[in-house]
Structure 1
């Protein structure tokens, strides 16, 4: 049996529309149960979530051990890449105390869990101040850390170290046998008792990001602690399972996961060597809604490692004589172009055509335009996406391959 300990939270997303009760631990319990694993879920749960989780436990086939509380936690997202607004209790609840053989522990917002076990997988799940596994008195004879690069840098106290260096430091300071650091398009680095290896990330046609980290941790924990696979093999399975989740928003059975063969991301040597591609951000900026979209895309693309040339920010408004040549030079200088296509703004369509004439890769985000109106872009080998988060990831993947 695997004991999953962590948050069960309500999740709401404006676009794409999503209203569910999962959280890291709730999602992990479902993911492991779908594989046929025996799971016991421990979490704080309020009355609003209790009936949902009781029904899900029966449906999925896991055991729910609920610590009832007056108020749970809820996340409100604008989209899958946005920073959520978090509704949480005013004061933390008393810690959970768990003594089991195999435990998957997630960091929690409303409290913490003190673990005493033989095997543990720990995902800190904290974008601000991730807690070390043993900081609250938790103990494990065999510990695996699963975290993203930002969490690793916070726990190491440095943003300039390489993933290899951070993994070795975390293994030493945390007493971990295994450290898995997720690195975006570079896949995941696996430290296993001194040995270093990597597993790839995979391309999908759709990207549903909320809960993808929970899915990775769940599949890694099951493959390593329950099935006895090597850390490298467990991380490779977890990466594929995460791609399945991002593609479908669902959790695979063993058979469906074995049949799922996504394409590994191609990463160029230039990108691996640290080159930051320059992106041209095309889109109208004549209303508050349009300006918000341009600003949001600029922030998200820069946050994922790209340099961004934005006509609004880097050239500004002006007459044709003032701005056109500067904008066109921006396209000539860029490596690829991201276009906000809804509304079929004439300037944006012109910029797309100019970029394609120069054989620059183009990703066009358009939710509301007809197939007929997108025909020229599709026929000229632009990558089209009707979901914002998918469009951003498609852009980053295209940049990484250049």
Structure 2
């Protein structure tokens, strides 16, 4: 709880947020909201009493809704008019979204000199600005030196894939990547977010591990925006250390991923997730008899690998058998599958309740004491008794399943 003096002091401080206002749409699970990085950050920080100026581009189709949200949450919007608001369409929350209504010509706007700035890269507008302090999150894959911004004191926050893309040569060691970015970008702080493995913070000669927190479910769309916003507030407005600011940011991300809410409860806590010390071996149990099943299997396997896991998939690593296979051939395939389970750290099961192979693999794993995460979409509750009763961790959405398997 802030005292009256602390609230007054915060009201005298100003944070300028530069970032996108976009319509976000997801096919599964169904989701459609006007957010974007900048608007999400402005709403998330509107509860902290600080004066917020939000600089964004928006089309005439959603300008009225943006103004309504600005009035509702009490921040000031400074809009740049574009013909249509950019849309981002996700097949699922972990996929790369497809942008729609991206303008052919990108507008350049000069905001002059500002004090403290949270800057998200934008797909529809280039913003030129000079700031005393800045947190830069390159949402548009543009390195800071190409952004048109200048900062005396800069914190660069980016995910693993953005960090790797900004280097002049391939490098997989994130500690080396961070140190290279510190020298390349000439920044004060670098934070590299690494999904289910938390984050790494670089400041001067120090390298710090930033933990993440385990949540019952994981909603990833916008979670990176929240990290940058909360870090920016604590680092620039409250003048806390970069490490303390990153810890607060990670805790807020956990709450957002669990609830989707942008107004945070400081009393709500989550258990710290132990970061794995070695690559995790995951057995991917799933039916693969139809084109749709194989396409989904390929996507889940790809996501697990993107999260740094070693994946054993019977379809990919053993192969299939036809109706004319001999008992010896069938036994060879089955033994290869069971060996794959024996050598795994965890089984991720795409569970429909009707595929006997997946049901057997889950039962075999639990009998061996191997943890099972079961992705159960559209499965009747009575078909889950054996899973829940045998200690499987059941989830109904893909994002949560990938994170829980990777933790």
State the TM-score, normalized to the length of structure 2: 0.91
Cα pair 2:301 2:311 within 8 Å, conserved: yes
Match of 2:133 among 99, 119, 128: 119
Cα pair 1:244 1:252 within 8 Å, conserved: no
Shift of 1:187: 1.9
| Cα distance change on mapping 1:369 and 1:332 into 2, 3 Å | same
Map of 1:49 onto structure 2 = 62
Encode CA deviations 1:379-399: one digit per residue, 9 max, x unaligned. Answer: 1111110111101100000xx
Map of 1:358 onto structure 2 = 368
In the TM superposition, what are the counterparts of 1:58-97 in structure 2 within 5 Å? 58-97=71-110
Shift of 1:202: 0.9
- Structure (1 or 2) with the larger CA radius of gyration: 2
Matched, 1:264 2:267: no
State the TM-score, normalized to the length of structure 1: 0.92
Cα pair 1:337 1:355 within 8 Å, conserved: yes
Map of 2:308 onto structure 1 = 305
Shift of 1:161: 4.8
Cα pair 1:37 1:222 within 8 Å, conserved: no
Cα pair 2:347 2:362 within 8 Å, conserved: yes
- 3-state SS of 1:115 partner: strand
Cα pair 2:349 2:362 within 8 Å, conserved: yes
Structure 1 residues 134-143 or 217-226, which shifts more? 134-143
Matched, 1:339 2:352: no
Encode CA deviations 1:242-295: one digit per residue, 9 max, x unaligned. Answer: 111100011134xx1x212111111244x2xxxx22221111112222122211
Matched, 1:32 2:38: no
Map of 1:296 onto structure 2 = 299
- 3-state SS of 1:121 partner: strand
- Structure 2 unaligned runs (5+)? 1-13
Encode CA deviations 1:207-254: one digit per residue, 9 max, x unaligned. Answer: 00011100100000011111111111100000000111100011134x
Cα pair 2:374 2:401 within 8 Å, conserved: yes
Measure the CA separation in 1 of the matches of 2:172 and 2:298: 30
- 3-state SS of 1:372 partner: helix
Map of 1:5 onto structure 2 = 18
Measure the CA separation in 2 of the matches of 1:186 and 1:386: 22
**How large is the RMSD of aligned CA atoms in angstroms?**
1.6
Cα pair 1:315 1:326 within 8 Å, conserved: yes
Matched, 1:281 2:304: no
Matched, 1:151 2:159: no
Cα pair 2:163 2:192 within 8 Å, conserved: yes
Encode CA deviations 1:56-114: one digit per residue, 9 max, x unaligned. Answer: 00111111111111122111111111121111334132222223111111111123211
Map of 1:107 onto structure 2 = 121
- 3-state SS of 2:130 partner: strand
Map of 2:223 onto structure 1 = 212
Measure the CA separation in 2 of the matches of 1:28 and 1:344: 44
Map of 1:400 onto structure 2 = none
Cα pair 1:342 1:366 within 8 Å, conserved: yes
Measure the CA separation in 2 of the matches of 1:368 and 1:343: 10
Measure the CA separation in 2 of the matches of 1:219 and 1:229: 11
Measure the CA separation in 2 of the matches of 1:238 and 1:278: 30
| Cα distance change on mapping 1:34 and 1:131 into 2, 3 Å | same
Measure the CA separation in 1 of the matches of 2:103 and 2:197: 39
- 3-state SS of 1:263 partner: coil
Measure the CA separation in 1 of the matches of 2:139 and 2:215: 24
